[in-house]
């Protein structure tokens, strides 16, 4: 997966951390972490106001439920800022 990330002009530099894929249960709550992987960028960090391409390379387990929904979170190195997508299907 790849996407463009823009760091807010008033934010601290964004340093890549980890990506986390979590399954949602039938009640819509997160119930199982599937994988955590490193976040990759060409840049070592995104300065305030800058944009960059973020890449996550997944090797998906074969036993995932095809009808399940997931949350993908991409965290900075400090673990205090993230981008989050909820309700993804694979």
Tell me how far apart the alpha carbons of residues 82 and 74 are, in angstroms, rounded to a whole number.
Answer: 5
The answer to whether 66 and 88 have CB atoms below 8 angstroms apart is: no
For position 36, what pLDDT does the model report?
95
**Percent of the residues in the chain that have a pLDDT greater than 90, as a whole number:** 84
Q: How many CB atoms lie within 10 A of CB 67?
A: 7
Token output for 10: 């008033």
With bands split at pLDDT 50, 70 and 90, how would you rate the model's confidence at 32?
very high
Give the residue numbers spanning the domain of 84: 2-60+68-88
Domains in the chain, number: 1
pTM reported for the whole predicted model: 0.86
Tell me how far apart the alpha carbons of residues 37 and 72 are, in angstroms, rounded to a whole number.
Answer: 11
Tell me how far apart the alpha carbons of residues 70 and 48 are, in angstroms, rounded to a whole number.
Answer: 30
């Amino acid at each position: 997966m790849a996407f463009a990330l823009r760091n807010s002009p008033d934010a601290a530099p964004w340093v890549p951390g980890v990506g986390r894929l979590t399954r949602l249960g039938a009640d819509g709550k997160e119930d199982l972490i599937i994988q955590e992987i490193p976040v990759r960028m060409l840049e070592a960090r995104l300065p305030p106001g800058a944009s960059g391409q973020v890449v996550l390379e997944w090797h998906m387990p074969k036993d995932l439920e095809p009808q399940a929904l997931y949350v993908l979170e991409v965290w900075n190195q400090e673990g205090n800022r993230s981008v989050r997508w909820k309700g993804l299907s694979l």
